[in-house]
């Protein structure tokens, strides 16, 4: 069924356990933990906690071909206000300045705006992972640019390429046109403009089974093409490596690219990138309050190595002294110049 989540289709890959079995049983690929040990980084330990990432649900207005969350309109998992309040209670007592809100389309959670307002009251710097199309998809979201501006939210918005063909192939028909409209509306309230203080970053990930090109060069290309053709400005471009998880894993298997792509990731392993992976300074909170080392471990249901496995039982001392869980998908974050929610890391 095209345009539906793995979960809706009852695809075997909807099971995190099955995804891990696929990843762990590829012949010839060394366990990632061995690579880490070789680099003197095993076990991988957290640094100071700087980013608190909250996934407020898997509900989304898009069904992107490469989505590692398996998000879509047919997903019903959303964070409750009670769990959001538990996050706020923790953030009120720990020294973490940045909160990164993701989904799905986080704006579709009915308590999203309440959460953003509460975080601003706590003085937190807020990043929202916005898919852009949500701004123009429905009238009730049309005022989001003004809401974001008023709450000084930093935006990280996916745009696979600066033309319609590549973007729509990855994210769905008509997504590029809607994304351009959304970017223009964001520019209209000051986002991405010099000296406005309103940060608009774009997120690029390849549309095929290959690693991202040079981030700096791609940023120059995106800025030139979007400004020349649509009058659009933005701050930074982040290049993210596609992770062999969920719907991107399905794409790799169905297209016959799985083994080649994994070999590409392994051969590009970079110890410097491994030392700077985002799971060392970030904690991920799932829609039900469960705690994870990162967003990818969350989607593979790899439990955090601590007795406090839910936000309601949060213990900073224990979290800070855990060993970070790794598996074969971690090759995606450590290949080449590395990959994180904020682009390259090496």
Q: Return the structure tokens found at 196.
A: 């406005």
Q: Tell me, yes or no, whether 289 lies in a domain.
A: yes
Q: Which pTM value belongs to this model?
A: 0.96
Q: Tell me, yes or no, whether 265 lies in a domain.
A: no
In angstroms, the first-to-last Cα distance of the chain is 39
The pLDDT score that the predictor gives to residue 75 is 97
Separation between Cα atoms, residue 42 and residue 76, nearest integer Å: 37
Name which of 163, 305, 330, 307 is nearest 241 in CA terms. 330
The mean per-residue pLDDT over the stretch 191-219 comes to 95
Residue 309 confidence (pLDDT) above 90 = yes
Q: Where are the beta strands (DSSP E) in 20-92?
A: 51-55
Q: Return the structure tokens found at 265.
A: 């990731």
Name which of 185, 217, 191, 193 is nearest 204 in CA terms. 217
Residue 43 confidence (pLDDT) above 70 = yes
**CATH code, 51:** 3.20.20.70
Q: Tell me, yes or no, whether 261 lies in a domain.
A: no
The pLDDT score that the predictor gives to residue 244 is 96
The pLDDT score that the predictor gives to residue 2 is 46
Coil, strand or helix: which one is 217? helix
Q: What is the 3-state secondary structure (H, E, C) of 254-321?
A: HHCCHHHHHHHHHHCECHHHHHCCHHHCEEEECCCCEEECCHHHHHCCCCCCCCCCEHHHCCHHHHHC
Q: How many domains does the chain have?
A: 1
Q: Tell me, yes or no, whether 342 lies in a domain.
A: no
Percent of the chain with pLDDT strictly greater than 90:
93
Separation between Cα atoms, residue 240 and residue 112, nearest integer Å: 25
The mean per-residue pLDDT over the stretch 70-74 comes to 96
Q: Tell me, yes or no, whether 112 lies in a domain.
A: yes
pLDDT bin (cut points 50, 70, 90) of residue 3 is confident
Name which of 57, 53, 16, 15 is nearest 288 in CA terms. 57
The mean per-residue pLDDT over the stretch 231-242 comes to 97
Q: What contacts 246, CB < 8 A, 6 or more positions away? A: 6, 13, 19, 67, 68, 69, 70, 299
Tell me the residue range of the domain where 110 lies: 45-255+279-315
Coil, strand or helix: which one is 237? strand
Separation between Cα atoms, residue 318 and residue 302, nearest integer Å: 17
pLDDT bin (cut points 50, 70, 90) of residue 220 is very high
Segment among 50-59, 146-155, 157-166, 214-223 with least mean pLDDT = 157-166
The pLDDT score that the predictor gives to residue 207 is 86
Q: Tell me, yes or no, whether 241 lies in a domain.
A: yes
The mean per-residue pLDDT over the stretch 81-95 comes to 98
pLDDT bin (cut points 50, 70, 90) of residue 205 is very high
Q: Tell me, yes or no, whether 231 lies in a domain.
A: yes
Separation between Cα atoms, residue 284 and residue 339, nearest integer Å: 16
Cα 95 off chain centre by:
23
Mean pLDDT of the chain: 96
Strand order in the sheet with 200-204: 237-239, 200-204, 154-158, 125-130, 98-102, 51-55, 282-285, 291-292
Q: Tell me, yes or no, whether 121 lies in a domain.
A: yes
């Amino acid at each position: 069924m095209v345009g539906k989540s793995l979960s809706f289709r009852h695809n075997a890959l909807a099971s995190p356990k099955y995804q891990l079995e696929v990843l762990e049983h590829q012949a010839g690929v060394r366990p990632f933990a061995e690579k880490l040990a070789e680099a003197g980084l095993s076990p991988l330990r957290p640094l100071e906690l700087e980013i608190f990432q909250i996934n407020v649900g898997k509900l989304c207005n898009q069904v992107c071909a490469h989505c590692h969350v398996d998000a879509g309109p047919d997903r019903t998992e959303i964070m409750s206000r009670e769990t959001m309040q538990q996050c706020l209670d923790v953030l009120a007592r720990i020294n973490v300045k940045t909160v990164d809100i993701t989904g799905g389309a986080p704006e579709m959670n009915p308590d999203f705006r309440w959460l953003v307002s509460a975080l601003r009251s706590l003085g937190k710097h807020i990043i929202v992972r916005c898919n852009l199309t949500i701004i123009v998809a429905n009238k009730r979201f049309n005022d989001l640019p003004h809401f974001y501006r008023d709450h000084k939210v930093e935006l990280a918005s996916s745009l696979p390429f600066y033309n319609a063909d590549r973007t729509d192939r990855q994210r769905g028909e008509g997504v590029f046109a809607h994304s351009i409209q959304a970017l223009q509306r964001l520019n209209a309230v000051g986002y991405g403009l010099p000296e406005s203080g309103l940060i608009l970053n774009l997120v690029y990930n390849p549309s095929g089974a290959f690693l991202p090109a040079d981030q700096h060069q791609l940023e120059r290309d995106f800025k030139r093409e979007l400004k020349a053709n649509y009058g659009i400005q933005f701050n930074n471009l982040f290049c993210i490596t596609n992770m062999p998880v969920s719907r991107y894993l399905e794409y790799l298997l169905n297209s016959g690219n799985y083994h080649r792509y994994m070999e590409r990731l392994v051969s590009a392993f970079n110890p410097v990138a491994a030392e700077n992976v985002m799971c060392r300074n970030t904690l991920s909170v799932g829609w039900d309050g469960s705690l994870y080392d990162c967003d990818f471990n969350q989607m593979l249901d790899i439990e955090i190595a601590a007795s406090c496995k839910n936000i309601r039982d949060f213990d900073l001392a224990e979290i800070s002294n855990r060993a970070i869980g790794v598996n074969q998908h971690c090759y995606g974050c450590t290949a080449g110049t590395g990959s994180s929610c904020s682009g390259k890391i090496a």
